[in-house]
Amino acid sequence: MNLVTVFFIITITTVAIQNAACGLYQNSLYGLVAVFPPQYTNAILLGSNICGTFVSVVNIITIVATNDIKTAAFFYFFISFLAVLTCFGSLFILVKLDFYQYYIQKAIEKMGKRNLDGILVEFKQNNSNINKTGLKSNNCEIRMQCFNIWFIFVVTIALFPAVMADVKVYSENGIYSFVIPEKLFTPVTTYFFFNLFAFFGSFLANFVHWPQPKWLVVPVIIQVAFIPLMLICNFRSAHRTWKILIYNTWVYIALAISMSLCSGYFSALALMYAPKQVEASKSTIAGMIAAFFLMFGVICGTLLTFVILWFIDSVGPLQPTKL
């Protein structure tokens, strides 16, 4: 076994462990903040979008400032290390805050639980089956919000980043002349714009709660229109078997911004609504169920991306430029 193979195995194993830990942490976090006011659930989504925006900016800076991959990799690792340390340290500070203790104690009283050491909570013996019954009950009561969360992330991940990153500037003479430099077009219009405007959408959800929970499904389903609209832009022009209908780059950017805003806004609403659709004693379980459907939506959206690529490259009536 050569060093390249060993490096590949170690890298893939590390990525798998990291993502499993991230999923567990995120699911637990959504369950924890479900007992707090709704805007704190949205704060997790805002944090993710801020992180994405920050990484996008760092990516743009490294592209402009250096061509040394090792230097860029070092800074990415260093920033990630600092972020992990910050999160780890903030947890110890969080549990000592009066604000945290107030809402946790309030949740404990409503759920009929007892506090072990001010931080850890366990069920009473006679409520040992509450997880099963609570899960089934909550799944019925918040099923619409779970669907909303799942559907939003299916549409979002189906387009971002795979589709958006492969949309290029159209030029009749083959000479790049767009206002954004060519090497920055994808980093700016895909990664930076998506995270930035998803952040704006999530932030807006703290102040505007429209539509109401039972009607949220309507605009959520309408979002599926972004998929065909993106696909008729200058996407995979050399490989596609379907005619391009939208050549204007500004129209594509407007679509990308609209999709990002809608994704951030409606996903934030659904995640805030979900724990509040059940009684307070079940809000933690509801928050964890909502987080599960978020991750499930990400998985389904990723799989849908492969279907989209196959559909664009193989099903249409035209012959691709490059085989």
Cβ neighbour number for residue 23 with a 10 Å cutoff: 15
Whole-number mean pLDDT of the chain? 88
130: pLDDT confidence band, cut at 50, 70 and 90? very low
pLDDT for the residue numbered 178: 95
Q: What is the mean pLDDT of residues 228-243?
A: 95
The string over 86-123, giving b where at least 16 C-beta atoms fall within 10 Å of a residue's C-beta and e elsewhere, is eeeeeeeeeeeeeebeebbeebeeebebeeeeeeebee
Distance between CA atoms of residues 205 and 212, nearest Å: 12
Distances (CA, A) of 106 to 4, 96, 109, 110, 127: 54, 15, 5, 6, 18
Read off the pLDDT band of 83 (50, 70, 90). Answer: confident
Quote the pLDDT of residue 255.
98
Q: Return the axis-axis angle of helices 249-276 and 143-159, rounded to nearest 10°.
A: 160
Angle ∠(43,47,51) on CA atoms, nearest 5? 170
The amino acid occupying position 260 is: S
Instruction: Give the pLDDT score at 122.
Output: 43
What's the whole-number mean pLDDT along residues 294-323? 92
How far apart are alpha carbons 245 and 170 in whole angstroms? Answer: 12
Given a cut of 60, is residue 138 above it in pLDDT? no
Q: How confident is the model at residue 168 (pLDDT cuts 50, 70, 90)?
A: very high
Residue 323: per-residue pLDDT: 54
Q: Is the full-model pTM beyond 0.85?
A: yes
In the predicted model, is pLDDT for residue 18 greater than 90? Answer: no
> Which pLDDT score, from 0 to 100, does residue 322 have?
67
The residues spanned by each domain of the chain are: 3-65+138-315
d(CA 154, CA 299): 8
pLDDT at position 141 is: 63
Q: For residue 119, is pLDDT > 80?
A: no
Lookup result for tokens 């949220």: 216
CA distances from 244 to 71, 77, 121, 170, 213 (A): 39, 40, 57, 10, 37
Residue recorded with tokens 């690529």: 309
Q: What does the pLDDT read at residue 87?
A: 83
Whether 320 shows a pLDDT value over 90: the answer reads no
Q: Helix 249-276 vs helix 193-204: angle between axes, to the nearest 10 degrees?
A: 40
296, 33, 23, 51: which is closest to 198 by C-alpha?
Answer: 51
Q: pLDDT-derived band of residue 279, with 50, 70 and 90 as boundaries?
A: confident
User: How far apart are alpha carbons 230 and 40 in whole angstroms?
Assistant: 33
Which of 218, 200, 309 is CA-nearest to residue 257? Answer: 200
Structure confidence at residue 210 (pLDDT): 94
Q: pLDDT value at position 75? A: 82
